[in-house]
Structure 1
Amino acid sequence: MMLRSVQMKVMGLIIGIMLLLICIGLSIVLGYTDTSIKTAFEAFQAFNGSNEHIVIQNIRLPRAIIGAVVGICLGIAGAMMQALTKNPLASPDIIGVNAGASFFIVVAVMIFSVNSLQAFTWIAFVGAALTVVVVYFLGSIGKEGLTPIKLTLAGAAIAAFFSSLTQGLLAVDESSLDQVLFWLAGSVQGRKVEMLYGILPYIVPAIIVTFFIASKINILTIGEDVAKGLGQRTALVKIISGIIIAILAGGAVAVAGPISFVGIIVPHVVRAIVGQDYRWVFPYSAVAGGILILLADVAARYVIMPQEIPVGVMTAVIGTPFFIYMARKGAKAS
């Protein structure tokens, strides 16, 4: 743990927020269309209809805002998932959020001929939320009730199930692949801020509740018996945590598609900085998640310029070596 005192953690969080704002600025300024900080200010203070001002206002600003929001959601959801399952490799992916949302999108395109990005948002959000409900139900079956190992296994099974169904449907009707490929890759390119309006009323309260139950999560991670001995209603805490994961991970995948590894990487980095206290892990994870998505998105613009690769590909490139490292570290520890 690098930051031990409360004062250092507060200062670190302030610095992190400043870095997040800087990354938002970089996302607005950098890209194929050559712009500068001065151009960005002029685009909002003295809009003249030029190509540069249009790009900044209509493309890059929404992209930066959506990237930050998606990163915040995935960072918190990943930290919550790892705390709940006591699995250092857990993330929203492991409970099938991405797979469930993807399946619902493919079904909507193939059966109902949906092709609206706005409609995709709601369909994916509902699909992700229902997937979490199913996983929680399956993980609760049995005398012990909901346990970390059962939740992890149920999530992995549901993710594999939905992924298989999705691949099967796309194999039957390859024409649908072209319509959903841009969404399945995971990207914040071409998204509109309006896509956030429908889910923000759910995301904001979920984030606020996360900070309020952080101390209860701390107790739960020590052990369920200890938590019950201290009078905690562990079942209620788990249910609230599951709802938060469903809303945050579902909202992120609904807007940007299935972006992997952010929920795995961020909590580990954050815990190395502030320790295991989730009263600090959650806000730090939110900031770090936003920074990671924004930096990955900026880098994705330059890899094969003038073309761009989806930010989901960049996070996979970053996250895969990290995942292998954590898996090997866990194997050695065991």
Structure 2
Amino acid sequence: MHAQARVDGTTPRSGSRPLVGSLLRLAGLLGLAAVLAAVVVFSLWAGTLEITPEELWAVFTGTGREVHELVIWELRAPRAGLAVAVGAALGVAGALLAALSRNRLADPVFGGAGFTSAAFVVLAVGAFRLTDFHAYIWFAFLGAALALIVGHFLPATRAPGHPLKRAFAAAGVSLTLAVVVHIATTRAPDTFAGSRMWVFGSLNAATGDRLAALAPYLGAGLLFAFVLMWPLRRIDAPGATRFAGEGGRNTLIRAGVALTLVILCGAATAATGPIAFLGLAAPALARMLVGDDVRWIAAYSAFLGPILLIAADLAGRTLDTTRELEAGLVTAVVGVPLLIVLAWRMRAGRT
């Protein structure tokens, strides 16, 4: 097939097309960064306490009222910061898991890792009375590792199967764990402050100290993720067999991706509880924008995840005037129909 001629009669160089595509994707990434910045500012402004834009600007410049500074810097800013960190972690984790499992319906939280991590944290707090974040986060890592091993690395689960069946099987396990966590936390409400967080996932526990404690873990996980993007792309390339090439290099790549998923899912769940479907929605939207390159999907998901999570948190805070809805509950309400649509498209052969 001949290249299409330009107006001047010459033909474009084939090498220019990938460059133009990369520049367009980079421009889109910068656009998402701007949208995320705007959403963060809006989340600082919106809430039950009405703050005008002028009063918000006064807080930024250090001349605001004391009550406004307290609300912005002690309540809303840590909440927005935690949403950015956890949203980026779960978005990137979703892109990694979809590439590793070759299953576009895979969600790191609803797929088992998040709810297993929450169950192990509840065990740590309830049985061992661990209340320090740096102590019980290791139980979250253990739960995420167990879920990933059982769900994706045992011989029985590594065998090829329809993605829809695997997704709903993982969902059944997650729902069972959610019921167990709910029973455990409601039977000991004094032990589990904010017990609904461990069932639905919430940003209510956001503090500056928690965000600072979380930062090293998520920073390491995101760094590992983007280092692994290039070798992972070869495994996830179109036409590649799911577990082709069981050589040492591919095994190391999969082990590195699994470790990264454990860090991202475990740390995010330890901070906010299991926020389901964010790791499904962000990569799905990214895939619509940039195609099937896992590197760009992960990069876009790192911005789409926080945008979606902040939007869900704002909806939970403002839609119901009688009580605040957990962000994870809002993502679930949106995520279940999304899962159905993606499953229908997959069954119809459109994805």
Which band: TM-score by shorter chain? 0.7 to 0.9
Q: Distance in 1 between matches of 2:324 and 2:134?
A: 22
Report the more deviating stretch, 131-140 or 94-103.
Answer: 131-140
Structure 2 counterpart of 1:18: 34
Task: Give the partner amino acid of 1:258.
Answer: P
Q: Structure 2 residue aligned with 1:129, among 137, 141, 145?
A: 141
Structure 1 unaligned runs (5+)?
Answer: none
Is 1:201 equivalent to 2:216 in the alignment? yes
Question: Percent of counterpart pairs with the same letter?
Answer: 26
Give the root-mean-square deviation of aligned CA atoms. Answer: 3.1
Q: Deviations along 1:180-204, whole A, 9 cap, x unmatched?
A: 2244331112410211222322221
Relative distance call for 1:160 and 1:50 in structure 2 (3 A) is: closer
- SS where residue 109 of structure 2 aligns? helix
TM-score of the pair, normalised by structure 2: 0.81
Q: Deviations along 1:66-100, whole A, 9 cap, x unmatched?
A: 11111111100011111111111101125422222
Q: How does 1:211-290 map to 2 (within 5 A)?
A: 211-222=226-237, 223-224=240-241, 228=245, 233-290=249-306
Structure 2 counterpart of 1:29: 45
Task: Give the partner amino acid of 1:285.
Answer: S
Relative distance call for 1:161 and 1:235 in structure 2 (3 A) is: farther
Q: Distance in 2 between matches of 1:122 and 1:268?
A: 34
Q: Distance in 2 between matches of 1:164 and 1:276?
A: 36
Runs of 4+ with >3 A deviation? 135-142, 144-179, 224-229
Structure 2 counterpart of 1:64: 80
Q: How does 1:1-334 map to 2 (within 5 A)?
A: 5-47=21-63, 49-114=65-130, 116=131, 119=132, 122-123=135-136, 125-138=137-150, 139-142=152-155, 159=174, 162-163=177-178, 165-167=180-182, 169-170=184-185, 179-222=194-237, 223-224=240-241, 228=245, 233-305=249-321, 307-333=323-349
Relative distance call for 1:175 and 1:201 in structure 2 (3 A) is: closer
Relative distance call for 1:219 and 1:175 in structure 2 (3 A) is: same
Structure of higher CA gyration radius: 2
Contact 1:186 1:312 in 2 (8 A): yes
Contact 1:300 1:314 in 2 (8 A): yes
How many residue pairs get matched?
Answer: 326
Q: Distance in 1 between matches of 2:162 and 2:134?
A: 30
Q: Distance in 2 between matches of 1:59 and 1:235?
A: 44
Report the more deviating stretch, 213-222 or 132-141.
Answer: 132-141
Report the more deviating stretch, 264-273 or 298-307.
Answer: 298-307
Q: Deviations along 1:275-297, whole A, 9 cap, x unmatched?
A: 11122111101001011111111
TM-score of the pair, normalised by structure 1: 0.85
- SS where residue 302 of structure 2 aligns? helix
Structure 2 unaligned runs (5+)?
Answer: 1-18
Q: Distance in 2 between matches of 1:46 and 1:173?
A: 43
